[in-house]
Protein backbone atom coordinates (compact mmCIF):
# COMPACT_ATOMS: atom_id res chain seq x y z
CA UNK A 1 0.00 0.00 0.00
CA UNK A 2 2.88 2.38 0.74
CA UNK A 3 4.60 1.46 -2.48
CA UNK A 4 1.90 2.75 -4.75
CA UNK A 5 2.41 6.23 -6.08
CA UNK A 6 -0.13 8.71 -4.69
CA UNK A 7 -1.30 6.43 -1.83
CA UNK A 8 -0.54 9.11 0.79
CA UNK A 9 -1.61 12.11 -1.25
CA UNK A 10 -5.05 12.59 0.35
CA UNK A 11 -4.14 11.45 3.87
CA UNK A 12 -2.40 14.62 5.09
CA UNK A 13 -5.47 16.63 4.12
CA UNK A 14 -7.75 14.22 5.97
CA UNK A 15 -5.50 14.30 9.04
CA UNK A 16 -5.38 18.09 8.94
CA UNK A 17 -9.21 18.29 8.76
CA UNK A 18 -9.51 15.84 11.66
CA UNK A 19 -7.06 17.89 13.72
CA UNK A 20 -8.96 21.12 12.97
CA UNK A 21 -12.23 19.46 13.96
CA UNK A 22 -10.82 18.27 17.30
CA UNK A 23 -9.36 21.69 18.08
CA UNK A 24 -12.61 23.47 17.23
CA UNK A 25 -14.70 21.10 19.35
CA UNK A 26 -12.48 21.41 22.40
CA UNK A 27 -12.34 25.20 22.01
CA UNK A 28 -16.16 25.39 22.05
CA UNK A 29 -16.36 23.41 25.29
CA UNK A 30 -14.75 26.17 27.35
CA UNK A 31 -17.07 27.06 30.24
CA UNK A 32 -15.61 30.43 31.23
CA UNK A 33 -15.84 33.41 28.92
CA UNK A 34 -12.49 35.06 28.06
CA UNK A 35 -11.45 38.11 30.06
CA UNK A 36 -11.36 41.54 28.43
CA UNK A 37 -8.24 41.67 26.30
CA UNK A 38 -6.40 44.21 24.22
CA UNK A 39 -6.27 43.94 20.47
CA UNK A 40 -2.98 44.31 18.61
CA UNK A 41 -3.78 47.94 17.83
CA UNK A 42 -4.37 48.77 21.54
CA UNK A 43 -8.21 48.72 21.55
CA UNK A 44 -9.83 46.83 24.41
CA UNK A 45 -11.92 43.82 23.38
CA UNK A 46 -15.03 43.48 25.55
CA UNK A 47 -17.03 40.30 25.79
CA UNK A 48 -20.63 39.99 26.86
CA UNK A 49 -21.04 39.52 30.61
CA UNK A 50 -21.87 36.08 31.86
CA UNK A 51 -25.60 35.47 31.79
CA UNK A 52 -27.38 34.30 34.91
CA UNK A 53 -29.53 31.24 35.14
CA UNK A 54 -33.17 31.60 36.06
CA UNK A 55 -32.46 29.99 39.44
CA UNK A 56 -29.88 32.71 40.18
CA UNK A 57 -32.31 35.57 39.58
CA UNK A 58 -34.11 36.99 42.59
CA UNK A 59 -37.63 36.60 41.27
CA UNK A 60 -40.45 36.70 43.79
CA UNK A 61 -43.85 35.30 43.06
CA UNK A 62 -46.82 37.07 44.60
CA UNK A 63 -47.83 35.61 47.95
CA UNK A 64 -51.45 35.36 46.96
CA UNK A 65 -52.84 35.11 43.44
CA UNK A 66 -55.05 37.93 42.29
CA UNK A 67 -58.73 37.39 42.97
CA UNK A 68 -60.59 36.36 39.85
CA UNK A 69 -64.16 37.40 39.28
CA UNK A 70 -65.57 34.01 38.28
CA UNK A 71 -69.08 35.25 37.37
CA UNK A 72 -67.44 37.70 34.93
CA UNK A 73 -65.27 34.85 33.63
CA UNK A 74 -68.39 32.72 33.10
CA UNK A 75 -69.95 35.52 31.05
CA UNK A 76 -66.74 36.15 29.12
CA UNK A 77 -66.47 32.46 28.20
CA UNK A 78 -70.12 32.40 27.06
CA UNK A 79 -71.45 30.02 29.71
CA UNK A 80 -74.46 32.31 30.24
CA UNK A 81 -75.81 31.25 26.86
CA UNK A 82 -76.88 27.90 28.36
CA UNK A 83 -76.64 28.32 32.16
CA UNK A 84 -78.02 30.75 34.72
CA UNK A 85 -77.49 31.10 38.45
CA UNK A 86 -80.89 29.86 39.66
CA UNK A 87 -83.00 29.06 36.58
CA UNK A 88 -82.67 26.22 34.14
CA UNK A 89 -82.01 27.28 30.58
CA UNK A 90 -80.65 24.96 27.92
CA UNK A 91 -78.46 23.56 30.67
CA UNK A 92 -78.99 23.19 34.41
CA UNK A 93 -78.75 26.13 36.79
CA UNK A 94 -75.50 26.56 38.69
CA UNK A 95 -77.37 26.09 41.98
CA UNK A 96 -78.81 22.75 40.78
CA UNK A 97 -75.33 21.53 39.84
CA UNK A 98 -74.03 22.61 43.24
CA UNK A 99 -76.82 20.81 45.11
CA UNK A 100 -76.39 17.63 43.09
CA UNK A 101 -72.62 17.38 43.58
CA UNK A 102 -71.91 19.23 46.84
CA UNK A 103 -71.34 16.03 48.85
CA UNK A 104 -68.60 14.88 46.43
CA UNK A 105 -67.05 18.29 45.82
CA UNK A 106 -63.40 17.20 45.58
CA UNK A 107 -64.13 14.48 43.02
CA UNK A 108 -66.63 16.51 41.03
CA UNK A 109 -64.36 19.55 40.79
CA UNK A 110 -62.12 17.80 38.25
CA UNK A 111 -65.05 16.00 36.58
CA UNK A 112 -66.90 19.27 35.98
CA UNK A 113 -63.74 21.03 34.83
CA UNK A 114 -63.19 18.30 32.24
CA UNK A 115 -66.83 18.54 31.11
CA UNK A 116 -66.54 22.30 30.72
CA UNK A 117 -63.52 21.88 28.44
CA UNK A 118 -64.49 18.66 26.60
CA UNK A 119 -68.27 18.61 26.83
CA UNK A 120 -70.52 15.79 28.00
CA UNK A 121 -74.01 14.35 27.80
CA UNK A 122 -76.60 12.26 29.58
CA UNK A 123 -76.46 13.86 33.02
CA UNK A 124 -79.06 16.63 32.80
CA UNK A 125 -81.38 15.52 30.03
CA UNK A 126 -81.13 15.01 26.30
CA UNK A 127 -79.29 18.21 25.36
CA UNK A 128 -75.53 17.58 25.42
CA UNK A 129 -73.07 20.08 26.80
CA UNK A 130 -70.80 21.09 23.97
CA UNK A 131 -67.05 21.50 24.47
CA UNK A 132 -66.07 25.08 25.21
CA UNK A 133 -63.00 25.88 23.13
CA UNK A 134 -62.72 29.29 24.77
CA UNK A 135 -61.84 27.80 28.19
CA UNK A 136 -58.56 26.21 29.28
CA UNK A 137 -58.39 23.63 32.05
CA UNK A 138 -57.22 26.06 34.76
CA UNK A 139 -60.12 28.41 34.04
CA UNK A 140 -62.49 25.45 34.01
CA UNK A 141 -61.28 24.41 37.46
CA UNK A 142 -61.94 27.92 38.77
CA UNK A 143 -65.43 27.87 37.26
CA UNK A 144 -66.21 24.39 38.63
CA UNK A 145 -65.04 25.41 42.09
CA UNK A 146 -67.26 28.49 42.03
CA UNK A 147 -70.26 26.47 40.79
CA UNK A 148 -69.82 23.82 43.49
CA UNK A 149 -69.48 26.33 46.34
CA UNK A 150 -72.76 26.98 48.17
CA UNK A 151 -74.18 30.44 47.60
Q: Where are the domains of the chain?
A: 70-148
Report the pLDDT averaged over residues 106-132. Answer: 91
For the chain, the C-alpha Rg in angstroms (whole number) is 33
Is the pLDDT at 131 greater than 80, yes or no?
A: yes
Phi, psi for 75 (deg, rounded to 5): -70, -45
Residue range 5-38, pLDDT digits in tens: 655 556 666 666 666 666 665 555 445 555 555 5
**pLDDT band at 145; cut points 50, 70, 90:** very high
Residue range 59-87, pLDDT digits in tens: 555 555 567 899 999 999 999 999 999 99
Q: How far apart are CA 140 and CA 109, in angstroms?
A: 9
Residue 101: count other Cβ atoms within 10 Å of its Cβ: 18
CATH number 2.60.40.10 is the correct assignment for the domain at 70-148: no
What pLDDT sits at residue 55? 55
Amino acid sequence: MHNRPGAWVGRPAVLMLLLLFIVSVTACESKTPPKNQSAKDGREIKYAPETKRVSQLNLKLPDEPAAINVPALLREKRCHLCHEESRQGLGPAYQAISLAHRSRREIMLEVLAQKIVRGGSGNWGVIPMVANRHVNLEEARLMAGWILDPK
